[in-house]
């Protein structure tokens, strides 16, 4: 692996920002994480393709992240390159039919929700308050317990390193609870969503109702990764954890939230090891008491 050669090849490349030894705590909602050898912002498709070609040639491991809203990065960081999608991937285009929107994978989901409101298009109200990027939302089929972004997808454009751009219609992809059937070795570039025209007041009312529910039931003002575990079939994982008496359980600076037991929050000085210890403890207790093998929703990097 030659990080030095990669830096030399990427420095000065158009539409590419390269930072060495960047603290990933600056790029996760947990505010936790050590340094990455390289942090690269690619602002165009050409930049992304060229960056991955260079990293592959120099045998530097790489990973794509959005806003790090469901990511726990190890205290030791990541020995490789972390890539994020920049300006060209943040575009929002309203279709000629007035009901579809095409959005870059790097766009902030909250901005897309507000853009849909401004265009009087309904369908994304459930996503209000969900952090992260559109690409991340598509990759994990983000949503509530009953509504998912995958149900709105008309078309997805991806990049397969070494092969090029690929298109998928909605029916080409298997969508499930927190699951998306797109190949894991492909990078989401943009998505077209089909929405429904509706009066702005009605959309705003539904958004306010959804946001009020999130504020009431989730610890939104404290650093976290959102839901840590997926809900098992026909079970609410928060209730399972609470029934184990684990609300308020802590290790170092990490704590099971007293607001929602499926949130592990950073009280201010938590390390990744603290969070991982709490995750292991919760997983073990739920299996011991309920016989349920919880599956993590949070992604791990550098462990």
Closest by alpha carbon to 105, among 78, 136, 147, 74?
136
How far the first Cα of the chain sits from its last, in Å, is: 19
What does the alpha-carbon distance between residue 185 and residue 173 come to, in Å, rounded to a whole number?
15
Active site residue 208: no
Geometric angle at alpha carbon 18, from 12 and 19, rounded to 5°: 135
Written as six digits, the tokens of 152 are 């709105």
Active site residue 91: no
- 282: buried, middle or exposed (CB in 10 Å: 19+, 13-18, 0-12)? buried
Candidate list 31, 111, 178, 230, residue with the active-site label: 178
Active site residue 178: yes
- 164: buried, middle or exposed (CB in 10 Å: 19+, 13-18, 0-12)? exposed
Residue 153's DSSP bridge partners are 193
Candidate list 69, 90, 122, 227, residue with the active-site label: 227
**Beta carbons within 10 angstroms of residue 187's beta carbon:** 22
> 299: which DSSP letter?
E
Q: What are phi and psi of 216, to 5 degrees?
A: -80, -30
Which positions are catalytic?
Answer: 178, 227, 297
């Amino acid at each position: 692996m030659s990080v030095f050669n990669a830096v030399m090849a990427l420095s000065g490349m158009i539409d590419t920002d390269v930072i060495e030894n960047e603290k990933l705590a600056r790029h996760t909602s947990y505010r936790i994480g050590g340094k990455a050898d390289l942090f690269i912002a690619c602002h165009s498709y050409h930049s992304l393709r060229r960056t991955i070609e260079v990293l592959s040639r120099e045998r530097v491991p790489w990973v794509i992240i959005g806003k790090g809203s469901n990511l726990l990065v190890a205290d030791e960081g990541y020995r490789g390159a972390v890539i994020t999608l920049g300006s060209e991937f943040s575009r929002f285009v309203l279709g000629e039919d007035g009901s579809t929107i095409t959005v870059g994978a790097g766009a902030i989901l909250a901005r897309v929700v507000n853009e849909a409101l401004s265009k009087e298009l309904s369908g994304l109200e459930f996503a209000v308050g969900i952090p992260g990027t559109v690409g991340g939302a598509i990759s994990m089929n983000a949503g509530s317990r009953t509504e998912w972004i995958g149900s709105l997808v008309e078309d997805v454009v991806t990049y397969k390193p070494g092969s090029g751009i690929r298109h998928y219609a909605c029916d080409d992809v298997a969508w499930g609870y927190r699951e998306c059937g797109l190949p894991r070795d492909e990078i989401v570039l943009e998505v077209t969503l089909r929405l429904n025209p509706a009066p702005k007041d009605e959309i705003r009312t539904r958004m306010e109702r959804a946001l009020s529910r999130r504020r009431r039931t989730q610890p939104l003002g404290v650093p976290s990764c959102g839901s840590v575990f997926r809900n098992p079939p026909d079970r609410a994982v928060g209730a399972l954890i609470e029934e184990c008496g684990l609300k308020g359980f802590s290790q170092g600076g990490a704590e099971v939230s007293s607001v929602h037991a499926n949130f592990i929050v950073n009280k201010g000085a938590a390390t990744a090891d603290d969070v991982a210890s709490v995750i292991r403890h919760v997983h073990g207790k739920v299996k011991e008491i309920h016989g349920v093998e919880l599956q993590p929703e949070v992604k791990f990097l550098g462990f």
